[in-house]
Amino acid sequence: MATTTATIALSSDVTDNSVSVSNQLTMWTAGTTTGMDTMTSVTKVLESTNQVDLIGTGSVSTTHAYVYINNPGSDSTRHFKITIGNAGAGSPTDTEEIGRLYGGDWMFMPWDVDDDICITPSDSEKMTVEYQVFS
């Protein structure tokens, strides 16, 4: 049986009291204790400010997955807007913004695969995005 584990460690000294948090997640197939056994890893270079359907609902054959998205760029002023919803042939009308990934930013989240994950670059210069889907 495949086992995939995600680990995160956060520490901060923003306040007078320093904070340190760490957690670990074993990724199971929905409603089971069976490990996820599929990983898709993609790198894309985008060259427009058009919304792109990055990960569509038909891209996995399960009802539950985890998604990692990374902006490997180093420019802190350029970002990707991440949205989730029904992209509708590239139309942003039925999507909800869930965040922006500036250069060096990344995100990890559970995904119920009912809605597309879309991405919109902040400018039309070449921008690279990396993502992985675990299902």
Q: How far apart (Å, rounded) are the C-alpha atoms in residues 96 and 45?
A: 23
Rg (CA), the chain: 16
Domain boundaries defined on the chain:
37-134
The pTM of this model reads 0.88
pLDDT, one tens digit per residue, over 12-51 is 988 888 889 999 999 988 888 888 888 899 999 999 999 8
Which ranges of 1-135 would DSSP assign to H, the alpha helix? Answer: none
Q: Is 37-134 a CATH 3.40.50.720 domain?
A: no
β-pairing, 94-102 vs 79-86, is: antiparallel
